[in-house]
Chains A and B, each alone.
Chain A
Amino acid sequence: MKLNFLVTTVALLVAFPPPYECRAIEGSSNQPATDPDGERQSPPVLARLGEEYFIRLGNRNQNYLRSPADSFPETSQYSKRALQLQLTQRLLEGKVGNIGRLDGNYALRALDSVERERRSEEPPISLDLTFHLLREVLEMARAEQMAQQAHSNRKMMEIFGK
C-alpha cells in the first residue's frame, strides 16, 4: 500500500515539476563589443540647448567631447535655480538649439537588409545630459504625476459622491 502511494507520488512529481524561475546567466562572453571601434572616429552630433546639454549619436570619442564646464564658461552665471528652471523650460519647448553638423555615418541611406544588420552592430545611441538637468526633468515629471493623481482622486470622489 505504502509502496503504491510512493510510486504515485513520484509519478505525479515527475509529471508536474515545481516551477523554478530561470536564472539569469551572467557571463562576460555574452557582452558584445561595446568599446568604440578605433577606426571609426566619427565626430558626434552636438545640439547645444541651454546649459550643458548635448545629444550625441555614435561613438564615444573621448578627445572630442570636452567637459561641459570647460565648453561653457558662462555656466557659472546660471547657478541660480530660477534661471536654470527657466532654461530647462525653454529647452523643453525647443526654442533654443543649434544643431551641429551631421555625422557622415548617420547620413540618410536606404534601409536594405545589409544596412539592418549593420545597424544592430552600430554603437549604441546615447544622450549627453548632466545629472542636474536630469533631476530637473525628473522633478517636473513627478509634479505632473502628483497633479494627475490629485485629478483622478477628485474624479473618483465625484463618482462615489453621487
Chain B
Amino acid sequence: MSGTSRAQLCFLLLSVTALRGHARFLDIQQDNEISPEGLLSLLSSELKRELPEEFVYRRALRCLDMVAVEGQFTFTAERPQLNCAVFFIGEPSDIISVEYDSVNIDCRGGDFIKVFDGWVMKGEKFPSTQDHPLPLYKRYSDYCDTGVTRPIVRSSQNVAMLFFRLHQSGSSFTVTFRKLINPFPCNVVSQTPEGSFTMIIPQQHRNCSFSIIYPVEIQIGELNLGQHNDLKRSILGCAGSGDFVELLGGNGMDTSKMYPMADLCYSFNGPAQMKVGCDNTVVRMVSSGKFINRVSFQYRLLGHQELQQMKGNSIEDVCLRA
C-alpha cells in the first residue's frame, strides 16, 4: 500500500469512529489503580452508580411527601392509607429512577403503587400530553402489573410521582430514588424560585418547557433560533414559525392550558424581561427540528409588593403581567 493511500485510509477510519460518538470514562479508585471492574465498565453500555451501603441515605416516607435527595425510602402503613402521593424532583439536568426494593402489599386486595412520569395536579399534567414523548396511559407504571418483571422505572424529565394505596396496616414498601444525568434536558420543573438556565434543542422536532411554580420576573439573555434571521417572519408574528419561544403563565400545571404572555421568534442578544404574576411561569420552546435552538434566561421571585403593584396596574387578571 502506498503512503498516501494508507494515510487516506487511516483518516477515513478515524472519521468513521468519531462519527459514532460514544464516550467512556473510568472511575479511578484508590492509589490511582485501574480496577478490573473499571475496565469492564468500558464494555458495558450503562455505567452503574452504586454507593456503599453505609453512605446510602435512608428515611421513612410520608403519605404526602416530596423527595429531592437520592436514597432509600420506606413507607409503612400504620393504618389504612388510601390516598397518598410522593413527588420526586431532581436538578434540571437529571432524570429520575425509581427502583422497587421490597414491596409488601396486597394487589388483589386493591392496594397499588403507581409511578407517574411527570407531575399531575388537579388533573393537569406536566409535561403536557403535547410535550411528552409517551401517551398518557404509558406514563403510569403500576407495580401490580409490571413491578416484579420491571422493578426500575425511569422518568423522561427531572420530575416524577408515586401514587399509592395500602388497605392493611402493616403493609409496606421500600423504593430507591436515584438521579441520572440527562445531557439535553427538555422538560424541567425548577426546584427554586430563582436561578438561571440554558435550554438547547439540538435539531429535534419537539417542544420543551421550563416550569417555575412561582410568580417570577424572567430575563431572557440570549435567544438563538436556527441560522436564519427572518425579520419578515417576525412582523407577521410567531404563528407560522416552526421555531419560537413562548412565555406562558397560568394557575395549573398543564402548559397547554396556560395563557401566552409573550412569544419570540427571532434571535437576539441582550436582556428582555417580563414579570409574570402567575402561580406557574413557563418558558416553552417549540422546535421544528431543522435547527439547533438555544435560549438562556434568568428568573427571580416577585416580591409581595411587586405583585400588589401589578394588581393595581392591571385591568384584566390574566394572572398578572408587566
Task: Decide whether A and B assemble into one complex.
Answer: yes
Q: Which residues of A contact B140 (CB under 8 A)?
A: 124-125
Cβ–Cβ contact A127 & B206, under 8 A: no
In the assembled complex, A41 has its CB within 8 A of some CB on chain B: no
B116: interface (CB < 8 Å): yes
**Neighbouring B residues of A92 by C-beta, 8 Å:** 62-65
Contact of B191 among A1, A18, A124, A142 (CB under 8 A): A142
> Which residues from 100 to 121 on chain A have a C-beta closer than 8 Å to any C-beta of chain B?
102, 106-111, 116, 119-121
- Chief secondary structure at chain B's binding surface: mixed
Chain A residue at minimal CB-CB distance from B190:
A138
Complex Cα spacing A106 to B83, Å: 12
Q: Is the beta-carbon distance between B20 and A19 smaller than 8 angstroms?
A: yes
Query: CB-CB < 8 A to A107: which residues of B?
Result: 110
B240 at the interface (CB under 8 A from A): no
* A138 B89 Cβ-Cβ under 8 A: yes
Decide if B19 is an interface residue (CB 8 Å cutoff). yes
Say whether A124 contacts B120, CB under 8 Å.
yes
- CB-CB under 8 A from A9, the residues of chain B are 12
A-side contacts of B135, CB under 8 Å: 30-32
Chain A: CB-nearest residue to B18: A18
Rounded to whole angstroms, the CA-CA distance of A32 and B125 in the bound complex is 14
B25 on the interface (CB 8 Å rule)?
Answer: no
Bound-state CA distance A99–B205 (Å) is 45
Identify which of residues 65-119 in chain B touch chain A, using a CB-to-CB cut-off of 8 Å.
65-69, 71, 81-85, 87, 89, 107-110, 114, 116
A5–B8 CA distance with the chains assembled, in angstroms: 8
Residues A24 and B133 in contact in the complex (CB < 8 Å), given A47-B83, A127-B85, A131-B251: yes
**Is B83 in contact with A45, judged by CB distance below 8 angstroms?**
yes
How many interface residues does B have (CB within 8 Å)? 63
A157, CB-defined interface residue at 8 Å = no
Q: List, in ascending order, chain A residues with CB within 8 A of B81's CB.
A: 94
Docked complex Cα distance between A155 and B161 (Å): 30
A8 touches B82 (CB 8 A): no
Nearest chain A residue, comparing its CB with the CB of B129: A31
- Tell me the count of chain A residues lying within 8 A, CB to CB, of chain B: 61
Task: Choose among B63, B82, B114, B206 the residue that contacts A102 (Cβ–Cβ < 8 A).
Answer: B82
Q: Is A76 in contact with chain B by the CB < 8 A criterion?
A: no
Give the residues in chain B near A145, CB-CB below 8 Å.
68-69
Q: Which of A15-58 contact B (CB under 8 A)?
A: 16, 18-19, 21, 23-24, 26, 30-32, 34, 45, 47, 49, 53, 55-57
Whether B130 sits at the interface, judged by CB under 8 Å, is yes
B228 within 8 A of A: no
- What residues of chain B lie closer than 8 Å to A16, measured between beta carbons? 16, 19-20
Which residues of A140-158 have CB atoms within 8 Å of chain B's CB atoms?
140-142, 144-145, 148, 152, 155
CB pair B64–A108 under 8 Å, yes or no, is no
The reply to whether A34 and B136 contact each other, CB–CB distance below 8 Å, is yes
Question: Taking the complex as formed, is B163 at the interface, i.e. its CB lies under 8 A from any CB of chain A?
Answer: yes
A129 to B121, CA, bound (A): 6
A82 within 8 A of B: no
* Candidates A8, A57, A119, A142; contact of B83 at CB < 8 Å: A57
Q: Which B residues contact A (CB, under 8 angstroms)? A: 5, 8-9, 12-13, 16, 19-21, 55, 57, 62-69, 71, 81-85, 87, 89, 107-110, 114, 116, 120-123, 125, 129-130, 133, 135-137, 140, 142, 144-145, 161, 163, 167, 191-192, 204-207, 213-214, 251, 279-280, 289
Question: 7 closest Cβ contacts across the A-B interface?
Answer: A55-B83, A141-B66, A141-B68, A137-B66, A108-B110, A18-B19, A60-B123
Q: Please name 16 further chain A to chain B contacts, defined as beta carbons within 8 Å, in addition to the given A34-B129, A108-B110, sorted by A numbering.
A: A24-B205, A32-B135, A53-B64, A55-B83, A57-B83, A94-B81, A111-B108, A121-B137, A125-B163, A126-B121, A127-B120, A128-B121, A129-B121, A131-B251, A134-B213, A148-B71
- Mark A residues whose CB is within 8 Å of B: 1, 4-5, 8-9, 12-13, 16, 18-19, 21, 23-24, 26, 30-32, 34, 45, 47, 49, 53, 55-57, 60, 91-94, 99, 102, 106-111, 116, 119-121, 124-129, 131, 134-135, 137-138, 140-142, 144-145, 148, 152, 155
Q: What are 19 residue pairs bridging A and B, where the CB atoms are less than 8 Å apart in the complex?
A: A5-B5, A12-B13, A19-B19, A21-B204, A56-B122, A60-B123, A108-B109, A124-B116, A124-B137, A126-B121, A127-B85, A127-B122, A131-B213, A131-B279, A138-B66, A138-B191, A140-B66, A144-B68, A145-B69
